[in-house]
Every structure is written in structure tokens, then in C-alpha cells.
Amino acid sequence: MKDLIVVTGGTGYIGSHTAVELMEAGYEVLIIDNLANSQIEVLGGIEKITGKKPPFEKLDLLDRKGVMDCFDRYPAIKAVIHFAAHKAVNESVEKPLMYYENNLLSLINLLNAMKEHGVRHFVFSSSCTVYGQPDKLPVTEQSPIKKASSPYGNTKQIAEEIIEDSILSGDPFDAISLRYFNPVGAHPSAYIGELPLGVPANLVPFITQTAIGIRAELRVFGDDYNTPDGSAIRDYIDVVDLSRAHVTSIKRLISGKNKNALEVFNLGTGKGLSVLEIINAFVKATGVDIKFRVEDRREGDVEQVYADTTLANRILGWKANTTLEETLRSAWKWEQNLRNG
């Protein structure tokens, strides 16, 4: 029997791409999602790519009994990849209690279900926001964990502490925490991609929606940062490259190659690009001009952050290989496919 991997938030952006990569690597996948920030039609896109629709459970992870019952129904669960969380930095500043309740209680309920059902392997969807505004760039896994600049970032810090404390207490887990930088792009097939509900909080879908005419103009938050062109700098990583790191992590845990009960890896390209550089790169890659206007800085945003990926390259044997041009073209192809039905 193939190993069954639970993917929480599996109809979401990164979760759906990871489900595809897992299935193409030979794993069985169970998707759990409450569809609060995603759509059920994503399962059809996964099926078009892989030839198989994964089993799906509509479930809110805040429902502790529901989570336990779900694990009861699937005794073959071998590992869990946990994506399901609220994730908008600016929204978390406005609604901190909602973020703490959702992001932390869902994790606790999941870990309790794993413990009760003897599921040992856990991959956590973390974030570079745990580093706050770093004193030194690029960021390594040994960089200090600073006070988070947003409640969202703080939930990721606390979540990692919960996982580590559970392991140190003797709970029979091993875990890998993957600290993402900025996932962008879509599957090359254009059957799945980023699907924000309402006004996008992330840069690239805002660019593609502007390019196709849904948004009148792109909003650039700040041009007075201490960066070469004044706009904020991030490390933009292709979502398929990112998803493949989860497959590698699952293999590492199941095979017992992990050296520590909790391992942490940065996932990025190792290169920082500004907002204005991304806009120019999109125009160059697609030939579509983008109208934008500069607004005040957005609360909770850091000035610049990008990854040192040496550890993930060496230990996981993983590397981001997709070019920025390919990534932006995939995002544009997905947007066109989405709007054209």
C-alpha cells in the first residue's frame, strides 16, 4: 500500500501544487480543507494534471472532534503536511485574535490527532516572517528569531515553538519546518495556480489581475525604503519548486534520515528582487504593460528579506531551478486560463 499523506489546506495555492507533486511522486494524498480561502474546483485541476482526484474532506481544523473522527476514517495516514492557516500580513494586523485562534488551535488539534493515531511525521508550512527585519542578509536558519512584525508572523513563531515543545516533551513526532520566502507562479499546465478571493494581498496575482483588466492599476506599497529603487525587496520562489521541497521533506522523514526531531530549512532562491524589478520582469516576460501607483507603506511589511538556501541545498538535496521569466509566464498563463474559463 502506498503511503497516505494528509495535506491540510490542500485546495489552497501551495497545498494544491504540493498535492500534485506528491501524487506524481507515487504517494496517496488526502486533502483536508474548509474552503474558506479556496474553491472545490481546484480538485478538478489536480485531477487534470495527475489523472486522479484525491479524496477530500471538508473540515475546519478548529473542530477537534471532527479532526479526530477524520483520522479514525483513514488509518493508513503516514504523515501530515500542514498548510491550512490564515496568511495575510495586513489582515492579521487588523484581526489579531482571529489569526491566533485559527492558526494555533488548528495546529494543536492536528498534533493531538496525530499523537492519538500514531502518526509520526509532520511537515509544517512556516514563513520567513519569523525572522522579522533581519540585521544581516541573506537570512540563514541560524539568524535570530526577532519580534514578529505582524500577528501572522507571530503565529508562525509560536507554532514552531509548539511543535518543538511537543517533541521535547516526548511526544512521538519528528518534524520539518519549511520557512518560505515568497511563492509565486503557477503549474505549467495552467490547471492550478494562485486564486485569491477578493483583492489580492500578494504582488504577482495583483500584477496579473491588473494586466488582464480586473484591477485598474497595481498598488505599490512604499517607494521610500532603503533599497536601490526604494521599493521593498523579497525572495520570489516558484511555487512548483517550493512544492517539490515538501516531497523531499516527506521522503526524508519517512526514511528516518532526519538528524534532529525538528529540522528547519529556508526555501527561497537566494536572491532578493524589488517590487519594481518584479513589475519590470513581468512586462519583459509577457509584453504586457502594467499601470501602477505608489501608496504609503503597508503596516507589518519588512523592508527586505531574502534567503540563504545552503542548508536546504545540501541536506535536502533541493534547489529552486525555475527562472523568474518562466515563473511569471506561468502566472500570466494561469490568469488568462482562469478568466477564459
User: What count of other Cβ atoms lies within 10 Å of the Cβ of residue 108?
Assistant: 16
- Contact (CB, 8 A) for 148 and 99: no
In the residue annotation, 152 being an active-site residue is answered as: yes
- Contact (CB, 8 A) for 176 and 263: yes
- Report the DSSP beta bridge partners of residue 125: 178
Please tell me which residue in 99, 152, 180, 191 is annotated as part of the active site: 152
Instruction: Please enumerate in sequence order all residues whose Cβ is within 8 A of that of 300, keeping only pairs 6 or more positions apart, or say none.
Output: 89, 90, 92, 93, 149, 150, 152, 153
- Contact (CB, 8 A) for 91 and 201: yes
Q: How far apart are the first and last CA of the chain?
A: 37
My answer on whether omega of the bond before 138 falls inside 30° of 0, hence cis, is yes
Instruction: Please enumerate in sequence order all residues whose Cβ is within 8 A of that of 285, keeping only pairs 6 or more positions apart, or say none.
Output: 324, 325, 328, 329, 332
Q: C-alpha angle 169/172/175, rounded to 5°?
A: 95
At residue 135, what are phi and psi to the nearest 5 degrees? -75, -25
Q: Hey, what amino acid is at 113? A: A
Kindly list the catalytic residues: 152
